[in-house]
Structure 1
Amino acid sequence: MRLLLLPLSFCLLLLFSGSEGWSIFIDGKTVKVLDQKGTWDQMNIACRTEGAHMVKIDSADFMYGIVKFLKQQGLANRDFWIGATEVGHEGVFRWQDGTIVKQGTPFWGVHGEEQEPNGGSLETCVFMAKSKYFYWADALCDSNFGVICEFPRDTDLN
């Protein structure tokens, strides 16, 4: 008998290929909310498997459209990873394309008396927090949340 060892990334690609979810066109962008949970890295791979990347929310109108869609689809009881992290550049959150994430309102929530992000060097990945009306918060990257993927422009999911 021959034992076949596959790299973990390949196994994750097989696991996430053809994922179910909810798709919509918002503010000129096609997004898909995948029907699964995982760590930030796992959900990054899941989006890439779909031919997308984790969503980059760069306007209040786009964020409003996403939140409205989540509520309309009955998904308001979940947290969702987005494509921002400070891994590799401590103290500066960046989108996956390298651009700097805007701080403060209208995007980031408040935890107690503190403005997010407030997790120091431990909480380095960003998610939309259901408990904060989907304002953003930083979290441990190995937390298990859903994900919102964004497709390149001119992508038709039909």
Structure 2
Amino acid sequence: MKKCLWGLIFLACALSWVRSQSRYCGDEKCPTFYKQVGSNCVYVSTKTKLNWQEARETCHSIDGELLTLPDANSLREITLYLQVLGISEEHFWIGAYDIGHEGTWRWIKDNSDVSMGTPFWVFSGAHEPTGKEKQNCGAIDKNFGGHMNDRECHLDLYFICEYVGK
């Protein structure tokens, strides 16, 4: 009797955990290649590293754009998703940039302003972005717990696309 009771308790706990993770299990609303993460359909590249522009072109080829993180909750959701996938120890291009307007960071998807400071950007003695003219493309940085960092656009990194449609 005790074994059955403990078995049922374990099963109930396991089922509860699986349900809590369901936001990372995909969704019929997301097209091929994409998985539901928070309110976005995202594709996470883990096989091919590309520079920022090539990553953007690859996103376009699957009706996407490099990922926009409009609020802290979006950053948290994607960081948790990368941890669930077991790939949080990588750098990933996202759609933040300041090419052509140094110091004014924008999202490539809609040209809106990127939130600056905590909790988005890394603080490592000074708030990122600190790369000035050399680092004009945004990435989720593995070295800083999934916060954003500015990187040199020519570097080859994994990348994250969000579905934007045709």
TM-score tier after normalising by the smaller chain length: 0.7 to 0.9
- Distance (Å, rounded) in 1 between the aligned partners of 2:144 and 2:57: 26
CA 91–98 in structure 1, closer or farther in 2 if over 3 Å, else same: same
- Partner residue in 2 for 1:98: 111
The reply to whether residue 148 of structure 1 matches residue 160 of structure 2 is yes
Shift of 1:101: 0.6
Shift of 1:64: 1.0
- Distance (Å, rounded) in 2 between the aligned partners of 1:62 and 1:149: 13
Shift of 1:79: 0.3
Judging by fraction of residues, say which structure has more strand: 1
Structural mapping, 1:1-158, within 5 Å: 23-35=34-46, 36-96=48-108, 97-111=110-124, 113-152=125-164
Say which one has the larger Rg.
2
Give unmatched runs, 5+ long, in structure 1. 1-20
Look up the SS of the partner of 1:38 in the other structure: coil
| Equivalent residue letter for 1:32 | Y
Question: TM-score scaled to structure 1, two decimals?
Answer: 0.79
- Distance (Å, rounded) in 2 between the aligned partners of 1:95 and 1:75: 24
| Equivalent residue letter for 2:121 | W
Cα RMSD over matched residues?
1.7
The question of whether the paired residues in 2 share the 8 Å contact of 1:80 and 1:145 is answered with yes
Give unmatched runs, 5+ long, in structure 2. 1-31
Question: TM-score scaled to structure 2, two decimals?
Answer: 0.75
Look up the SS of the partner of 1:150 in the other structure: strand
Superposed CA offset, 1:65-90 (max 9, x none): 11111011111121000001000111
Look up the SS of the partner of 1:30 in the other structure: strand
Judging by fraction of residues, say which structure has more helix: 2
Identity score, percent: 28
Count of residues in Structure 1 that have an aligned counterpart in Structure 2: 133
The question of whether the paired residues in 1 share the 8 Å contact of 2:34 and 2:163 is answered with no
